[in-house]
Structure 1
């Protein structure tokens, strides 16, 4: 076969892989955001789409269990994919995800919905853990950022379209159709993986899997994430405390085992890898609660309708979807640290603007705050993922890919958990609004129980400002972490040299 034919075949494989993984990312993001729109009708006994016995607490479990499954299982299966094949694990994950999604459309009870959402999340974990690893394996260093940018941009596109299109689907066709609409995509993607995408990407030499370490890791993530999801209750703090204990056990075990499930020595010896992950965790922690806070601000303080508030909040997702491919492409040409630090700085500007909102703030300030936040994330996400994946040896691509998703999920959970805690502590044990209800074990004696949150606008504004000020502080730390990763030219530092350096340490 001529060199030209080999190059054409390689290019075709790259395009096929990128299309498959990007469509998968779009579908999962779309389904999650579209399904969230269905919560009110599924829990309303007067709705024709009501699920018998399902209340807000049960709906919370249906949403939470998916997040827990995706977070807990990514690292273990990322490691398994490195051994047994990244495409193979991706295909298994897609088949599990698609089958569970189809089954969810027929479920009619809280218990079965929770069970199949966990199965669906487990399949998604296998997909998330291996998608970026496949792109890293198949794309050369100088084209990798563009591939990451397109893939991450497809996620934000799904998040942008999901609420509006999902609302139309739920209103006219029912919430089950949200699941059914995703199934054909999963089926087609599975066929493409089997018959079109050739090759397999795995380590030449299989390593022993640290199953005990994987179990301790899963328990730790469950306790931590569920603890932050329940942080407005007493047992939430107990769960977080227990997660710290199991984390210590996990670190102790991983340092003793010959082949750990998570390569902790990377954090110790690889400065670029360490600070890229830290900056991602801090940036997600700083920015994730923005939508929740502004939902309250726009609807309960400015008294805007749900549709208008949604139209304003979508500005950030649109900016992220547009800027992510651009940021990824820039990371192929410009030093990663430069792009990611500019991204965090732009996001910091957006958070700073939002920290000054009050009852008389012009809506343009909110829009600019969201716009800067979206631009910042668009410039940060793809180059930072490129940084992480480019800083590890080939045999660790699955683990690194899974870690990217895990840092995102942990940061998001802590961000929302802290915001929830502040609402609970400042506004009282049971407050209601047009957007959400909080039930807390923490009591503010100054706030009467069961009164509308809109009747306490000064305290609501105080809560929003406190959370935004803390977010600004976290974003400053993310800025320093992004810069401190150092300057590395990966085009002159191939994976073989990286692997030799890590192994020698």
Structure 2
């Protein structure tokens, strides 16, 4: 029997057409996590010009990430219950309308509120993209599909800052949001036509689990996001950043215990983690998201403040990475359908760690700028062996009934990894600045706000940024260890297990 027989009967079009429609929305989601960073100065000048405080405008990004991260687990389950296509379309409609609302905002408070709504729409969409891939592509073709999904992640890392720079300079900050409207409409129509309406699976909603998971994720993500702003100290009276994070961890522990003992259907089927590959892939994606999110901050500070590049020129240095991820990721996915995942993941993570180390060595006051293109290219080659293969490994053995839950868990892990990377790198960067330029660490925003630094500061600043990148490289080593603990699971074996499980449930 060929793999084609494994395709679900609901398909009326090629699964690649449905994947293409989903990638449009997924690409918008990822771009919008980074595009605003370039526009923040223009947004502040337009909507909050009366103060010099940067904390308020930072919430334009923080509100989006918080509203995105917290509901992911729930949205994955909703896709299982009401159909991934339905939840995806609802999420895309919310995201597109909220984008219009962002562009039309006349106050910073309204913009922040619209960004939170936009994040909620993104949370509804993201798990459904992986769930549809899992349910429409048989295991022996899923690697290539996840390769395209992974390539989208890599390319979006570059397009966000670049598109933000071009749109803000040419049309104004509003257009970083307005541009989503026609793209969202096209994506909605394509999804209506090409994404199949898959069979739903009845689920009892674990209301207590939903509440506990939302509280835990909110406290942890909010604490990590706001830690740097409050210098990891008090937020309101006796409530500190660490108190929020510790409380979040305690609630998370309570949530996991409740999931283990609940007699109703759990929000997070802990049995999924008995699959060594699913557990290892979740550890791996958290480290990869941590590393890729965190490395951008010190690198961009270095090339802009120590070397005098504009934001657009700085983003252009990442072109080799984005191009190579986009070109090579589908090939890595197809190869994954035939070989042990470790043969792709371990080299991919290792090359990425070497690329980050290479960046660190090159971040000196007199390195020719063009040399930074080489670690960027190596990072692209390594990235092609990580994003798609990790997603494929995590989802290869998921049954259709668990596709939404598994996708929700995986994307929650990925997003929390990014938030942790952003928070950790900011704190580590401040510490390295204080060590290399005593007194500078506490005034990063004020002293290093714009333009190239004075010549006497550049050597110490470059050293601080170079040392900061080493944190990103070090975290990837954890991902390499996790990948080494994976088992070889062929697509044919996964397909046989799923067929057996389907036959057993039918009986």
TM-score bracket, normalised by the shorter chain, equals: 0.7 to 0.9
Q: CA deviation at 1:350?
A: 0.7
Question: Residues of 2 paired with 1:185 and 1:158: CA distance?
Answer: 15
Aligned to 1:448: none
Q: CA deviation at 1:122?
A: 0.5
Alpha carbon RMSD of aligned pairs, Å?
A: 2.9
**Does the 8 Å contact 1:145/1:382 carry over to 2?**
yes
Aligned to 1:322: 327
Give 4+ residue runs of structure 1 displaced > 4 Å after superposition.
6-11, 49-55, 433-437, 452-459, 497-503
Q: CA deviation at 1:403?
A: 2.3
Per-residue CA deviations over 1:443-465 (Å, capped at 9, x if unaligned) read xxxxxxxxx79764455345334
Aligned to 1:178: 176
Aligned to 1:59: 57
Q: CA deviation at 1:72?
A: 0.8
Per-residue CA deviations over 1:405-436 (Å, capped at 9, x if unaligned) read 22221111111211111233324322247875
Aligned to 2:187: 189
Per-residue CA deviations over 1:296-343 (Å, capped at 9, x if unaligned) read 222233344444322213432233222222222221222222111111
Q: Is residue 2:401 matched to residue 1:399?
A: no
**Which ranges in structure 1 are unaligned for 5 or more consecutive residues?**
438-451
Q: Is residue 2:443 matched to residue 1:430?
A: yes
Q: Is residue 2:482 matched to residue 1:469?
A: no
Aligned to 1:222: 218
Question: Residues of 2 paired with 1:221 and 1:498: CA distance?
Answer: 36
Aligned to 1:27: 28
Question: Residues of 1 paired with 2:359 and 2:157: CA distance?
Answer: 22
Aligned to 1:39: 40
Question: Residues of 2 paired with 1:26 and 1:459: CA distance?
Answer: 38
**Does the 8 Å contact 1:433/1:453 carry over to 2?**
no
**Does the 8 Å contact 2:101/2:111 carry over to 1?**
no
Aligned to 2:348: 343
Q: 1:23 to 1:214 in 2, by over 3 A?
A: same
Q: TM-score, normalised to structure 2's length?
A: 0.86
**Does the 8 Å contact 1:320/1:375 carry over to 2?**
yes
Question: Residues of 1 paired with 2:308 and 2:200: CA distance?
Answer: 54
Q: 1:133 to 1:435 in 2, by over 3 A?
A: farther
Aligned residues: 479
Aligned to 1:283: 288
Question: Residues of 2 paired with 1:311 and 1:333: CA distance?
Answer: 35
Aligned to 1:445: none
Aligned to 1:135: 133
Q: CA deviation at 1:381?
A: 0.7
Q: Is residue 2:346 matched to residue 1:333?
A: no
Question: Residues of 2 paired with 1:249 and 1:372: CA distance?
Answer: 42
Question: What's the secondary structure of 1:43's corresponding residue?
Answer: helix
Q: CA deviation at 1:63?
A: 0.7
Deviates more, 1:130-139 or 1:192-201: 192-201
**Does the 8 Å contact 1:300/1:434 carry over to 2?**
no
Question: What's the secondary structure of 1:328's corresponding residue?
Answer: helix
Q: 1:168 to 1:460 in 2, by over 3 A?
A: closer
Q: CA deviation at 1:239?
A: 2.1
Question: What's the secondary structure of 2:205's corresponding residue?
Answer: coil
Q: Is residue 2:393 matched to residue 1:387?
A: yes
**Does the 8 Å contact 2:287/2:478 carry over to 1?**
yes
Q: CA deviation at 1:87?
A: 1.0
Which of 110, 116, 119 aligns to 1:118? It is 116
Aligned to 1:273: 278
Aligned to 1:157: 155
Q: 1:417 to 1:456 in 2, by over 3 A?
A: farther
Question: Residues of 2 paired with 1:308 and 1:502: CA distance?
Answer: 58
Q: CA deviation at 1:358?
A: 2.8
Q: TM-score, normalised to structure 1's length?
A: 0.86
Question: Residues of 2 paired with 1:416 and 1:7: CA distance?
Answer: 40
Question: Residues of 1 paired with 2:500 and 2:296: CA distance?
Answer: 39
Per-residue CA deviations over 1:99-122 (Å, capped at 9, x if unaligned) read 211222211112211111111110
Question: Residues of 2 paired with 1:455 and 1:227: CA distance?
Answer: 36
Q: Is residue 2:491 matched to residue 1:490?
A: yes
Q: CA deviation at 1:11?
A: 7.2
